[in-house]
């Protein structure tokens, strides 16, 4: 099954090319390279050919391209009604998790409940399901696609979910700046954009530098759960996680027949999209590691 990098199809049914904004003359004019003065990258920084060699040139390769997409009336209303309660603005300081999850009037106080980070929830179908079956767990969820954020807020309203907070920002920066060390009980990365073409593989989210940072933010004994339906990416994920010294493969001993992959954990639902793929005979790989 081919998942397009820009996650088309499920809702809008179309794919839109990213707009290329005018860049300063010293940058490379490529829509796939976004210059950023302060942040780290997923892949090593490289200087463009015409950059002076004595000055470092910072360039960040993002794991996403912001897709155009319409926010529906229902999503816009959810933004207006629920955004103030559940959206967490991006900041460059560590987030006070207890304050961020302090009780919303009339609901359970989740200030000290287990904390799970989710990266890239798309339209939030799996997120809302998991939050509903694990009401005593806090979910801090990052997504850059605005209609997706609206869609999850809408689901939260419909299902009366109070244990989710959303940061509508690049998760790579959120991890770097907002998540304190050893603060997470778990992390979910479900179906990250596979970036199928070899020349785009460098945009994949799951790479060693990010996994090293994320692992430092997991508590000892916490888990990292990734899932993908693209076999070459599954192999890359298994390799990256296996080579991270702070992580150990939970499934290797229990399920040697799966060669490092894990059985689908019970809490991850089969989304409509995944179900369709399975019926067509496509594979899905779950990878679950533990922080040591
Ligand atoms: C293929 S979709 C999968 C969505 C969802 N997890 C699912 O299984 O349906 C990947 C999502 O990750 C988001 N994404 C990619 N890189 C991201 C990043 N660095 N920070 C936050 N979201 C990101 C994209 O916007 C996209 O919605």
The CATH number for 266's domain is: 3.40.50.150
The answer to whether residue 67 sits within a structural domain is: no
Q: Whose CA is nearest to atom 1 of ligand 1?
A: 193
The answer to whether residue 17 sits within a structural domain is: no
Number of the ligand 1 atom closest to the C-alpha atom of 273: 9
User: C-alpha angle with apex 165: 160 to 171, nearest 5 degrees?
Assistant: 145
50 catalytic? Reply is: no
The answer to whether residue 116 sits within a structural domain is: yes
What is the domain extent for residue 183?
73-291
* pTM, entire model: 0.82
The answer to whether residue 68 sits within a structural domain is: no
- Ligand 1 centroid to Cα of residue 191, in Å, is 7
Give the dihedral sign, CA 170/34/67/77.
Answer: positive
* Number of domains the chain contains: 1
The answer to whether residue 134 sits within a structural domain is: yes
Give the dihedral sign, CA 208/212/218/223.
Answer: positive
Contact 168, 174 (CB under 8 A): no
The kind and range of the H/E element at 46 are: none
User: C-alpha angle with apex 257: 254 to 258, nearest 5 degrees?
Assistant: 85
Contact 45, 28 (CB under 8 A): no
The answer to whether residue 234 sits within a structural domain is: yes
The answer to whether residue 63 sits within a structural domain is: no
* Ligand 1 cavity residues, CB under 6 Å: 3, 7, 63-64, 119-122, 126, 142-145, 148, 170-172, 190-193, 205, 271
CA 204/CA 216 separation, integer angstroms: 20
Number of the ligand 1 atom closest to the C-alpha atom of 142: 21
The answer to whether residue 32 sits within a structural domain is: no
CA 160/CA 77 separation, integer angstroms: 15
Number of the ligand 1 atom closest to the C-alpha atom of 125: 9
The pLDDT profile of the chain, 292 residues, written as one tens digit per residue, is 444 444 433 333 333 333 433 333 333 222 222 333 333 344 433 333 444 445 555 558 999 998 878 899 999 999 999 999 999 999 999 999 999 998 776 677 888 899 999 999 999 999 999 999 999 999 999 999 999 999 999 999 999 999 999 999 999 999 999 999 999 999 999 999 999 999 999 999 999 999 999 999 999 999 999 999 999 999 999 999 999 999 999 899 899 999 999 999 999 999 888 888 888 888 999 999 999 9
């Amino acid at each position: 099954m081919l998942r397009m990098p820009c996650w088309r199809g499920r809702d809008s049914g179309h794919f839109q090319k990213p707009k290329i904004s005018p860049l300063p003359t010293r940058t490379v004019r490529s829509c796939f390279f976004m210059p950023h003065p302060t942040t780290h990258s997923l892949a090593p920084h490289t200087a463009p050919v015409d950059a002076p060699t004595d000055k470092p040139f910072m360039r960040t390769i993002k794991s996403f391209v912001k897709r155009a997409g319409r926010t529906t009336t229902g999503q816009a209303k959810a933004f207006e009604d629920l955004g103030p309660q559940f959206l967490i603005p991006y900041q460059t300081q560590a987030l006070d998790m207890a304050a961020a999850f302090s009780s919303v009037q009339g609901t359970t106080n989740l200030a000290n409940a287990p904390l799970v980070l989710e990266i890239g929830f798309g339209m939030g179908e799996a997120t809302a399901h998991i939050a509903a079956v694990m009401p005593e767990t806090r979910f801090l969820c990052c997504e850059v696609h605005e209609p997706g954020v609206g869609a999850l807020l809408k689901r939260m309203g419909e299902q009366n979910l109070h244990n989710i907070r959303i940061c509508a920002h690049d998760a790579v920066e959120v991890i770097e700046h907002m998540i304190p060390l050893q603060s997470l009980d778990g992390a979910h990365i479900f179906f990250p954009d596979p970036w199928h073409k070899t020349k785009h593989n460098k945009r994949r989210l799951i790479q060693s530098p990010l996994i090293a940072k994320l692992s430092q933010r997991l508590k000892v004994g916490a888990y990292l759960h990734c899932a993908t339906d693209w076999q070459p990416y599954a192999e890359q994920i298994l390799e990256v996680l296996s080579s991270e010294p702070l992580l150990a493969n939970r499934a290797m001993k229990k399920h040697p027949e799966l060669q490092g992959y894990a059985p689908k954990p019970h809490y991850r639902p089969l989304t409509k999209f995944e179900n369709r793929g399975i019926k067509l005979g496509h594979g899905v790989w779950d990878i679950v590691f533990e922080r040591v």
